[in-house]
Chain A
Amino acid sequence: MPTLEMTSPAVLPADWRDFLALTKPRVMSLVVFSGLCGLLVAPVQLPLVLGFTAILCIALGAGACGALNQWYEADIDAKMRRTAKRPLPAGRMDRQSALHFGVGLGAFSVLLMGLATNWLAAALLTVSILFYVLIYTVWLKPRTAQNIVIGGAAGAFPPLIGWVAATGHLAALPLLLFAIIFLWTPPHFWALSLFVRSDYAAAGIPMLPVVAGYEKTRRQIFLYSLPMAAGALAPWPLGLAGLVYGICAAVLSFVFVILSARVAASRSIEPKAMDAEKHLFAYSVFYLFALFAVLVADRWLA
């Protein structure tokens, strides 16, 4: 359980670049892209400015999640090589500024979403922020190896929010997109956590490789890739997407399953030798981008 004491008192006012870093811009790019795809596949076309605002709100909400996550985990981040240079553990910013920034950004994104699009989208954005911060960061992450499995729901909200921002209601396709990201998250994160296992172990985070070991994690990665592939294909037989999507999803998912099988067959315990895990991690990011891009293209071609 992280304490709420200051890691290192910051004397200087934080640089604006550090506030930007708090929002985890790289993570935000995938969130924004999936939200945009949810918006673009919706049967209703929003005016450009409202569509832009909806995506902006999703981005700001994701930024708020990143800031609040870093506020809460500053002590843990200080113990991990991968995160030690972030503004809070590096002492470039005080914790209160991060908290105020995160809460302010979150509240602003929800209000703007409600005013610009509709209040159902704003409610979903609120749920996704609270789920990420309270359920994932505060409750699950420091307590259970299932943190990523359940917490993955937080990252699965953007396409749902994008769709609802455009239409004002829920439907089968955005729920499927939610399911795809939900099922994609465990193999994606477990592949990463295999080659940064020592970091998680040092910080006391019970990620699956730390708690259950390499072999079980690799098996779980492969097992999760199967329902994920089925979920990715589902829009086609259900009539929610066309042949172009069906073929592309099949090829992309097949490669994902093959790479997962390679991970399952791997026996490396040295991070430098974990090529299969690194390949899967890199491919998993490409996979989600490509799958959602193809879905949008398929909709527009139809």
Chain B
Amino acid sequence: MSPTDENERSAGKNGWAAPADQSPEPADGELEIIRKRQRERARIVALLLGAFVVLLFFITIAKTGMNW
């Protein structure tokens, strides 16, 4: 068997094969939960970063006002 045959045999229908050390592709339902959690986490991180920027702005104003 040639190396090409071996690759084709192990590849999925999209021509992609998961490396041996990776977990198998999640099922559709699980993928949906993963995407939902990723969206939620991204939203929380975005909100926290926004809040941090606002906080830094006010800290700067307060510090310069105090003439430190």
Q: Which residues of A contact B (CB under 8 A)?
A: 11-16, 47, 49-50, 53, 56, 115-116
| B residues near A13, Cβ cutoff 8 Å | 34, 37-38, 41
Q: Would you give the shortest CB distance from B23 to chain A, in whole angstroms? A: 7
Measured CB to CB, the nearest residue on chain B to A116 is: B59
Q: Is A49 a contact partner of B37 (Cβ separation < 8 A)?
A: no
> Among residues 13 to 68 in chain B, which have CB atoms less than 8 Å away from a CB atom of chain A?
23, 26, 30, 33-34, 37-38, 40-41, 44, 55, 58-59, 61-63, 65-66
Provide the residues of chain A in CB contact with B40, threshold 8 Å: 15-16
A47 proximity list for chain B (CB < 8 A): 62, 65-66
| Closest chain B residue, CB of each to CB of A17 | B40
Query: Are the C-beta atoms of A115 and B30 separated by less than 8 Å?
Result: no
| Cα of A132 to Cα of B30 in the assembled complex, Å | 38
- Given A16-B40, A47-B65, 11 other A-B residues pairs in contact with their CB atoms under 8 A: A11-B23, A11-B26, A11-B30, A12-B30, A13-B38, A50-B59, A50-B63, A53-B55, A115-B59, A116-B59, A116-B63
B44 adjacent to A16 (CB under 8 Å): yes
Tell me how far the C-beta of B38 lies from the nearest C-beta in chain A, rounded to whole angstroms.
6
Which partner residue on chain B sits nearest A50 by CB separation?
A: B62
Q: Which residues of A contact B59 (CB under 8 A)?
A: 49-50, 53, 115-116
* Count of B interface residues, CB-CB < 8 Å: 18
Q: How far is A115 from B56 in the complex, measured between Cα atoms in Å?
A: 10
Q: Which residues of chain B have C-beta atoms less than 8 A from A50's C-beta?
A: 59, 62-63
| A53 proximity list for chain B (CB < 8 A) | 55, 59
**A49 to B37 alpha-carbon distance, docked (Å):** 32
Residue of B nearest to A9 (CB): B23
A12 near B62: Cβ-Cβ < 8 Å: no
A11 to B29, CA, bound (A): 13
Q: Which residues of A lie under 8 Å from residue B44 when comparing CB positions?
A: 16
- Report which residue of B41, B59, B63 has the largest number of chain A beta carbons within 10 angstroms of its beta carbon: B59
Q: Is the CB of A12 within 8 A of B37?
A: yes
Chain A to chain B: the 6 pairs with minimum beta-carbon distance, closest first: A47-B62, A49-B58, A49-B62, A16-B44, A13-B37, A116-B59
Decide if A15 touches B37 in the complex (CB within 8 Å): yes
CB<8 Å pairs between A and B, sample of 19: A11-B23, A11-B26, A12-B30, A13-B34, A13-B37, A13-B41, A14-B37, A16-B41, A16-B44, A47-B62, A49-B55, A49-B58, A49-B59, A49-B61, A50-B59, A50-B62, A50-B63, A56-B55, A116-B63
Instruction: Collect the chain B residues with CB atoms within 8 Å of residue A56's CB.
Output: 55
Contacts of A12 in B (CB 8 A): 30, 33-34, 37
The distance in angstroms between the C-alpha atoms of A14 and B61, with both chains bound, is: 37
- Chain A residues contacting B58 (CB-CB under 8 Å) are 49
What is the distance, in angstroms, from B8's C-beta to the closest C-beta of chain A? Answer: 29
Roughly how many angstroms separate A47 CA and B68 CA in the complex, as a whole number?
Answer: 13
Q: How far is the CA of A51 from the CA of B59 in the complex (A)?
A: 10
Most-contacted residue by chain B among A47, A49, A115 (CB, 10 A): A49
